[in-house]
Each structure stands twice: as C-alpha cells, then as structure tokens.
C-alpha cells in the first residue's frame, strides 16, 4: 500500500502543482519534505471550514475554533517537493503561524486578501520561508502582530501606517525599507528591525507605548537618522524599553545630547556615540 501511495503521489504531483498555481486562494506553499512533517497553524471562526490540500492527493476539511490555534499536520510518506494550498473559507482566517519551521516557501504578497488577520507569524532564521511584498498589508486594521523577518520579504514600511492596532513587529533581516517615522501614530510596544533597510528620516513624537524592545542596530543609519530616532523617542517620553540602535549605524551627534540623556536614564540604551 505504501509503495502504491508513493507511485500515485509521483504521478499526481505535476497535476497538483498546476491546480495549485491556478488557485483563487492566496495561501500556496511549497513544502520540501525529508523527515519532518509540515504544520499549518491557523485561527478562524468556528463557523468557517478550510479545505487543506497537502499536495500528495490528501484533502482535509478543518474547521476553525475561534480564538484557539488549530494545527493541521501533513502525513507525507516519501521525501520530495509538495504543493500545499488552502481553499474553502480562507478569507475568514485571522491568524497564520508557520514559525519556526524552515521547510517551506510561500509568497505573502496576496495575503491582504484575508483582511481579518490579527497575527502573521512566519519568521525563521534559515533564510527560507516567506517572500514577496508587504505593500498591501495596510488593509489589516485588526493586525496586532507581524513577524516576517526574512530577507526575501520586501516593501515599504510606510504602508503599515494604517494598521491602527499594530503593537508588535519583527522585520529583522528583511528587505523592507521606508521611513519608520511614518508609524509614529501606531500603538507599538515592540519593534525589531535590525539589519533591515528601514530608515528614520524625520523627527516625530512617538507614543510612549514602546515598553519592550526597539531594535534597529546594523541598519547602516547615518548620524542624522540616529539623531532623528533619539529625538523622536525622547519627545514621546519612552520609558522602560530596551533600545538598540548601535552596530553598523553611525554615531549620534551633539544634536541629540538631551534626548540621549533622557533615554539613557529611563531605558536600556545602546547607541554609538
């Protein structure tokens, strides 16, 4: 039976790939299976059902469970490449978590077609995983957490300025650029973007909601960008945060002396002086 399943799977794979590429659904992943099965974790209303195709001929109807994370695990037999996709009530999905797996790739450029998203967590450290642009993510007015710290993820951070619920962002090692100052009105608690392309090109008054981490080291900022950041955080009265804007960033100048003194006294601060 197992041999038969492997043979059938090999015959079906090219067909399934063509089917997957023609989908309306924005959730299409390429899974490279060796020995570890792939987990697709999601949240959706209990009234919604996802039709999950593993890419080996297996179809599973999985209902959402409201605020409880649901896990669908593949059951691949033979090592190989599988085209995993989701149909059904995919537009109702509120969370997708694929971290910390590193055996998949997926294009996130169309994920904005799931406008009810509250959490997107597809960060991993292997360099494999998501690719595509976040430029359409501004539709996510309920988005709380965004973690897509992968170099192949691109776009302009300014397009997140309409994500009015956003509190936690991880874009480390990503190809995302733009002016971070554009997010000054968001209720951010934590932001991790070290080794990214994001800049700080103006002085604004940031909210004092930043209480956790604020990482922008190794971003090759100019002295002006570093000063802009310090002046903006101090103007917002940020306290109790861990602020790291050192590494390959340039040294701050005397223009930020007062801001530096305030932030250093009220936070854990790392900056080149």
Q: Is residue 37 part of a domain?
A: yes
Summarised one tens digit per residue, pLDDT across range 243-262 is 999 999 999 999 999 999 99
Q: Is residue 35 part of a domain?
A: yes
Q: Is residue 68 part of a domain?
A: yes
Yes or no: say if 199 and 177 are a contact pair by the CB < 8 Å rule. Answer: yes
Give the H/E segment covering residue 62: strand 59-63
Summarised one tens digit per residue, pLDDT across range 188-228 is 999 999 899 999 999 999 877 888 899 999 999 999 999 99
Instruction: Report how far residue 152's alpha carbon sits from residue 197's, in angstroms, rounded to the nearest whole number.
Output: 12
Yes or no: say if 243 and 270 are a contact pair by the CB < 8 Å rule. Answer: yes
Domain encompassing residue 11: 1-91
Q: Is residue 106 part of a domain?
A: no
The residue-averaged pLDDT of 15-19 equals 46
Q: 267: which 2 tokens?
A: 């936070």
Count how many domains the chain has.
1
Q: Is residue 47 part of a domain?
A: yes
Instruction: Report how far residue 254's alpha carbon sits from residue 256's, in angstroms, rounded to the nearest whole number.
Output: 5
Give the H/E segment covering residue 154: strand 153-156
Q: Is residue 77 part of a domain?
A: yes
Instruction: Report how far residue 203's alpha carbon sits from residue 13's, in angstroms, rounded to the nearest whole number.
Output: 53
Q: What is the mean pLDDT of the chain?
A: 90
Instruction: Report how far residue 236's alpha carbon sits from residue 71's, in angstroms, rounded to the nearest whole number.
Output: 40
Could you give the C-alpha distances from 73 to 27, 56, 113, in angstroms and in order?
A: 16, 13, 24
Summarised one tens digit per residue, pLDDT across range 79-111 is 999 999 999 999 999 999 998 888 899 999 999
């Amino acid at each position: 039976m197992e041999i038969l399943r492997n043979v059938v799977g090999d015959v079906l794979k090219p067909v399934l790939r063509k089917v997957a590429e023609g989908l309306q659904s924005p959730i299409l992943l390429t899974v490279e299976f060796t020995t570890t099965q792939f987990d697709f974790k999601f949240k959706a209303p209990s009234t919604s059902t996802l039709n999950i195709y593993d890419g080996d001929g297996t179809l599973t109807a999985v209902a959402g469970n409201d605020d409880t994370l649901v896990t669908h695990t593949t059951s691949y037999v033979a090592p190989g490449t599988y085209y995993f996709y989701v149909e059904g009530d995919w537009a109702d999905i509120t969370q997708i978590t694929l971290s910390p797996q590193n055996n998949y790739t997926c294009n996130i450029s169309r994920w904005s077609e799931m406008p009810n998203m509250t959490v997107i967590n597809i960060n991993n450290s292997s360099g494999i995983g998501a690719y595509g642009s976040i430029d359409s993510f501004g539709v996510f007015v309920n988005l709380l957490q965004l973690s897509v710290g992968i170099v192949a993820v691109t776009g302009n951070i300014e397009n997140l300025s309409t994500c009015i619920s956003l509190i936690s962002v991880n874009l480390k090692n990503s190809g995302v650029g733009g002016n971070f100052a554009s997010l000054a009105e968001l209720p951010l608690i934590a932001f991790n973007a070290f080794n990214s392309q994001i800049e700080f090109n103006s002085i604004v008054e940031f909210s004092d909601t930043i209480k956790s981490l604020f990482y922008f080291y190794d971003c090759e900022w100019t002295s002006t960008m570093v000063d802009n950041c310090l002046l903006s955080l101090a103007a917002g009265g940020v306290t109790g945060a861990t602020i790291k804007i050192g590494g390959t960033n340039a040294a701050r100048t005397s223009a930020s002396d007062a801001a530096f003194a305030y932030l250093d006294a009220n936070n854990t601060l790392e900056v080149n002086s």
